[in-house]
């Protein structure tokens, strides 16, 4: 039997620098990972060797075959202010956002690691979006300590340490594949 497929959506924030580690961690846990970067995440991916994993950018052409299997689980690491708000309001205007909206609608097990500064998280849309996502069953994980119960904004000047200390086990211990029937 093939390994369960994990779609790893990567948004444009500093924690995108750890996606290569996430791919290795996913494989170590028995997942078959696919990387789905947003356009804003691409500069961080350029600095990593992702040559041995499918990196899927943009929409497929109408005549093109599907580029991933059906997702058994989805992880969004990091999830930016923009993507969290767009996802919660059902804005599907890019391939990663369409994937996230469809994952939510199909109740595919999904973990998101939001990553945003206080200037952004003070905007009232942020807490409203997180409430929508949590109620829809999305597991929200704090990038600073792995908590699934609380979420702190990223204090300015601490991004480098948070990126370095981020532990992918915080994501994988909260992902379970869709049960097979
Ligand atoms: C160097 C840099 C750092 C950024 N850091 C963050 C961040 O920590 N959190 C965030 O929400 N947006 C951050 N942004 C802004 C996002 O990249 C921007 O809002 C983008 O539109 C997000 O698109 P996406 O959600 O499709 O990835 C950063 C942008 C740059 C260029």
User: How much is the pTM?
Assistant: 0.96
Determine which residue's CA is closest to atom 4 belonging to ligand 1: 13
Question: How far, in Å, from the CA of 79 to the mean position of ligand 1?
Answer: 9
| Average pLDDT value for residue range 154-162 | 88
Q: What is the mean pLDDT of the chain?
A: 95
**Ligand 1 within 6 A of 11 CB?**
yes
Cβ of 116 closer than 6 Å to ligand 1, yes or no, is: yes
pLDDT of residue 176: 78
Average pLDDT, integer, range 155-181: 85
Q: So what's the pLDDT on residue 29? A: 95
Instruction: Describe the chain by its helix, strand, coil percentages, rounded to 5.
Output: 40, 15, 45
Contacts of 138 (CB under 8 A, 6+ apart): 104, 110, 111, 112
Sheet containing 110-114, strands listed edge to edge, beginning at the edge strand earlier in sequence: 32-37, 5-10, 73-79, 110-114, 139-140
pLDDT digits (tens, 9 = 90+) for 6-22: 999 999 999 999 999 99
User: For the structural domain made of 5-172, what CATH number should be given?
Assistant: 3.40.50.1950
Length of the chain: 181
Q: Are 142 and 152 in contact (CB under 8 A)?
A: yes
Going from N- to C-terminal start, the domains of the chain cover 5-172
pLDDT, one tens digit per residue, over 59-112 is 999 999 999 999 999 999 999 999 999 999 999 999 999 999 999 999 999 999
């Amino acid at each position: 039997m093939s390994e369960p497929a994990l779609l790893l959506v990567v948004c444009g924030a500093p924690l995108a620098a750890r996606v290569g580690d996430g791919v290795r961690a996913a494989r170590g846990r028995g997942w078959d990972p696919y990387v789905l970067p947003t356009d804003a995440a691409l500069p961080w991916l350029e600095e990593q060797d992702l040559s041995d994993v499918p990196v899927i950018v943009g929409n497929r052409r109408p005549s093109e075959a599907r580029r991933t299997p059906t997702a058994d689980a989805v992880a969004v690491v990091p999830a930016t202010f923009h993507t969290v708000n767009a996802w919660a309001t059902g804005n599907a205007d890019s391939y990663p956002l369409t994937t996230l909206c469809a994952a939510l609608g199909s109740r595919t097990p999904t973990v998101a690691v939001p990553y945003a500064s206080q200037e952004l998280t003070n905007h009232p849309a942020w807490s409203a979006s997180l409430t929508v996502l949590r109620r829809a069953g999305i597991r929200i994980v704090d990038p600073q300590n792995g908590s699934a119960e609380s979420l702190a904004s990223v204090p300015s000047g601490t991004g480098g340490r948070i990126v370095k200390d981020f532990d992918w086990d915080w994501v994988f211990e909260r992902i379970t594949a869709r049960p097979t029937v």
